């Protein structure tokens, strides 16, 4: 079945710097790759997603890139702000996982003012 | 406002007791899910339901049970057979279930502690 690896597990940056979180997946049949942000004591919220027919997608300060050949995808946050501090999860799904999302173990991002 | 409501937010249980976590959605979504979250472990799928009166086991279903009698409701029972039930439980829903279509909306979670 699908396996998703996420790195790093923790990331600390200064306000205004960029942050990059990387994920790899094992099932070449996976075709949907969302990113979720979880603030303390809350449920995760979708912040951006990408499908396998697209290589890059941007939404203001966040962007996701996908390399299908290498089976990895990354989240990029530019001009980080303290409110970006949270746990970020990547996930993958496709026919191989019966459509279920398989999540990475999460990255705790801390943005220092 | 549409969303998912989980209750209770905090729950304490003695060993050997069954407990039921509530999940209600008013998004008119067909699919609903239960995930378990442990520190450093990400989200692991317990059960999911694609439609009323139907549900399937996820990756860690042992010791749990669910029902889907109404579209809006998907309660999770943590039974005494679950060896390590202390965790944060998340309910989610999506419009439909299928590869490439799983945009999940999550509830705020229920934290279960076994004393």
Token pair 């965790």: residue: B87
Angle at B89 between CA B64 and CA B97, to 5 degrees: 80
For residue range A1-43, what is the model confidence (pLDDT) as tens digits? 789 999 999 999 999 999 999 999 999 989 899 999 999 989 9
The whole-angstrom distance between B89's CA and the closest CA on chain A is 9
- Residues of chain A with pLDDT > 90, as a percent, come to 82
Please judge whether B42 and A106 are an interchain contact, meaning their C-beta atoms are less than 8 angstroms apart.
yes
Does pLDDT of A94 surpass 80?
Answer: no
Residue pair B27/B44 in contact (Cβ under 8 Å)? The answer is no
CA distances from A68 to A28, A76, A78, A101, B44 (A): 8, 17, 23, 17, 24
- Place A96 in a pLDDT band, splitting at 50, 70 and 90: low
A111 interfaces chain B, CB cutoff of 8 Å: no
A9 interfaces chain B, CB cutoff of 8 Å: yes
Residue pair A89/A104 in contact (Cβ under 8 Å)? The answer is yes
Pick the closest to residue A19 from A81, A91, A60, A80 (CA basis): A80
For residue range A54-78, what is the model confidence (pLDDT) as tens digits? 899 999 999 999 999 999 999 999 9
Q: What's residue B87's pLDDT?
A: 95
For residue range B60-113, what is the model confidence (pLDDT) as tens digits? 999 999 999 999 999 999 998 888 999 999 999 998 777 566 789 999 999 999
């Amino acid at each position: 079945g699908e396996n998703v690896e996420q790195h790093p597990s923790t990331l600390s940056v200064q306000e205004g710097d960029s942050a990059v979180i990387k994920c790899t997946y094992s099932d070449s049949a996976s075709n949907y790759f969302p990113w979720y942000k979880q603030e303390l004591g809350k449920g995760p919220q979708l912040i951006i997603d990408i499908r396998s027919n697209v290589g890059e997608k941007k939404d203001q300060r966040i962007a996701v890139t996908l390399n299908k050949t290498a089976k990895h995808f990354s989240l990029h946050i530019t001009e980080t702000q303290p409110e970006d501090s949270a746990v970020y999860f990547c996930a993958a799904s496709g026919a191989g996982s019966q459509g279920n999302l398989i999540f990475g173990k999460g990255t705790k991002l801390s943005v220092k003012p | 406002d549409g969303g998912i409501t989980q209750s209770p937010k905090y729950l304490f249980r003695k060993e050997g007791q069954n407990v039921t976590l509530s999940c209600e959605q008013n998004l008119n979504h067909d699919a609903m899910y239960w995930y378990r979250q442990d520190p450093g472990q990400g989200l692991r799928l317990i059960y999911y339901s694609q439609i009323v009166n139907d549900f399937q086991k996820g990756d860690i279903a042992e010791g749990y049970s669910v029902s889907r009698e109404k579209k809006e409701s998907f309660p999770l029972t943590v039974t005494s057979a679950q060896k390590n039930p202390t965790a944060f439980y998340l309910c989610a829903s999506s419009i439909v279930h299928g590869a490439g279509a799983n945009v999940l909306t999550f509830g705020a979670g229920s934290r279960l502690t076994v004393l």
